Amino acid sequence: MRISTPLFVIAFVLHALSAYSAQPNIIVIMTDDQGWADIGLQGKGCVTPNLDRLASEGIRITSFYATQAVCTSSRTALLTGCYPNRLGLGGTALGPKSAKGLNPKEQTIAELLKDAGYHTGISGKWHLGDHGQFLPPNHGFDESLILPYSNDMWPLGQSRGQPRAGYPDLYWIESGVVGEKVGTWSDMDKVLGKQFDWAESFLKKQKTDKPFFLYIAPSMPHVPLGRNPDYKGKGATPYAEVITEIDTRVGQLLKILQQTGADKNTLIIYTSDNGPWLNFGDHAGSAGPFREGKGTTWEGGVRVPFIARWPGVITPNRISPALAGNLDILPTLVEAAGAKMPLLPIDGESFLPLLKGQRDTARETFAYYYGDTLEAVRKGKWKMHLAHTSRSYEGLTPGVDGAPGPTKQVRVAPALYDLNKDPGERNDVSAANPDVLVELMELAKQFRLEMTNGKREVGTDK
């Protein structure tokens, strides 16, 4: 007896096959200082229906890392697939007119995808050098609208009424050309809107015969928070209001993709550059169950939200505890696009098989650097802290009304944690697991040797 296959099954299979074979459009959204718990499905402080929808239609990776918990370093890892200390940009947030930047010899995601036939664009915060040779047009972006560094690096400061002496005026730079000034608090309130408006315009003008890569790097929820009046009262705190604005604008991007028909073959990734800047109180987010925040190698500093959606390829409503980081995004996207890998060695590992459901794991090990210092290593569920000095927010009163509260420096003793049982890193189990300690000490030795032998020249303005 012959059994016929239902037409809807045939249609689904054909759609899935076409999605696997065609170069996907790619959107990467990386927010600034958004904590792990600052999406609705992972915390209680922010309401994010559009991000929740994105997750329900794709995958959340709950053990995803920023490669270092500071602006420039994390963005270096994302765009190059390297530990940033390999490229001389570890532990840094480059200030205005810095002589350093991302070396133009390094191949970014944008360059690799452009060589594979993509039209490329970036909207948002750059922070990889503000001299001409370091700007997006020299790193593979066809179009760009950026702020060159963090939005608090301007004369008016991190909060209203508290100017920061010594900082120059902050300007937009569009495709390498200096444009309008962000000169007032009213201008700052419009920053997110302008960044997402540009991204929407980029999407609307894309042609169906050429794939696109769009990198959106909102300048917030990094302080100072822009306070768009349209979102006042739409969150429990000023920080939550900004997250509501970001979430709403992500929803608008999804609508544009539907209207243009691009959503069926678009891979969207949503993540953050590091954990929350906790001493800013109600102008900061939450790391949820994890310890500490931005600027540390505790989980709260480097474990960040991660959502990916790709209709017909990523099975909806998946949650994965696999270990991965933003340095793995480059090889993942290169593989998805059928592009060529960089000529120079990278540290990232593709997790495309995880996204496609072909494997349950991604990378096996991870090195927690801050600057050039290796502060911890992870293998599987085990995380070993090495002796180091760290920023700490614990036991201190956060600031109010956008002003920063104090932080302190503490000495971190060597310790071993089982992250499956103790994600908050409170119970040192090194005494009960001497064999694990020996294994991780050897791993730390290997990481140090690799970085020492493989360090490359930082970009400099000569």
Distance CA 347, CA 324 (A): 12
* Spans of all domains in the chain: 22-364, 370-460
Q: Which residues contact 450 (CB under 8 A, 6 or more apart)?
A: none
**What pLDDT was estimated at residue 66?**
98
127 is catalytic: yes
**What pLDDT was estimated at residue 161?**
84
Q: What is the mean pLDDT of the chain?
A: 95
Amino acid identity of residue 199, one-letter, is A
pLDDT tens, residue by residue, 331-349:
999 999 999 999 999 999 9
Among the CATH numbers 3.40.980.10, 1.10.238.10, 3.30.1120.10, 3.40.630.10, which is that of 370-460?
A: 3.30.1120.10
Active-site entry in 119, 127, 139, 385: 127
* Confidence (pTM): 0.95
Active-site entry in 71, 82, 119, 385: 71
pLDDT tens, residue by residue, 222-248:
999 999 999 999 999 999 999 999 999
Distance CA 127, CA 372 (A): 19
pLDDT tens, residue by residue, 145-158:
999 999 999 999 99
Among the CATH numbers 3.40.720.10, 3.40.630.20, 1.10.645.10, 3.40.50.1110, which is that of 22-364?
A: 3.40.720.10
Backbone angles phi, psi at 210, to 5 degrees: -145, 125
**What pLDDT was estimated at residue 344?**
98
pLDDT tens, residue by residue, 7-61:
444 444 444 444 444 899 999 999 999 999 999 999 999 999 999 999 999 999 9
pLDDT tens, residue by residue, 348-402:
999 999 999 999 999 999 999 999 999 999 999 999 999 999 999 999 999 999 9
Tokens found for residue 335: 């593989």
**What pLDDT was estimated at residue 6?**
52
46 is catalytic: no
pLDDT over 50 at 461, yes or no: yes
Q: Tell me whether domains 22-364 and 370-460 share a fold.
A: no
3-state SS record for the chain: CCCCCCHHHHHHHHHHHHHHHCCCEEEEEEECCCCCCCCHHHCCCCCCHHHHHHHHCCEEEEEEECCCCCHHHHHHHHHHCCCHHHHCCCCCCCCCCCCEECCCCCCCHHHHHHHCCCEEEEEEECCCCCCHHHCHHHHCCCEEEEECCCCCCCCCCCECCECCCCCCCEEEEECCEEEEEECCHHHHHCHHHHHHHHHHHHHHCCCCCCCEEEEEECCCCCCCCCCCHHHCCCCCCHHHHHHHHHHHHHHHHHHHHHHHCCHHHEEEEEEECCCCCHHHHHHCCCCCCCCCCCCCCCHHHHEECEEEECCCCCCCCEEEEEEEEHHHHHHHHHHHHCCCCCCCCCCCCCCHHHHCCCCCCCCCEEEEEECCEEEEEEECCEEEECCEEEEECCCCCCCCCCCCCCCEEEEECCEEEECCCCCCCCCCCCCCCHHHHHHHHHHHHHHHHHHHHHCCCCEECC
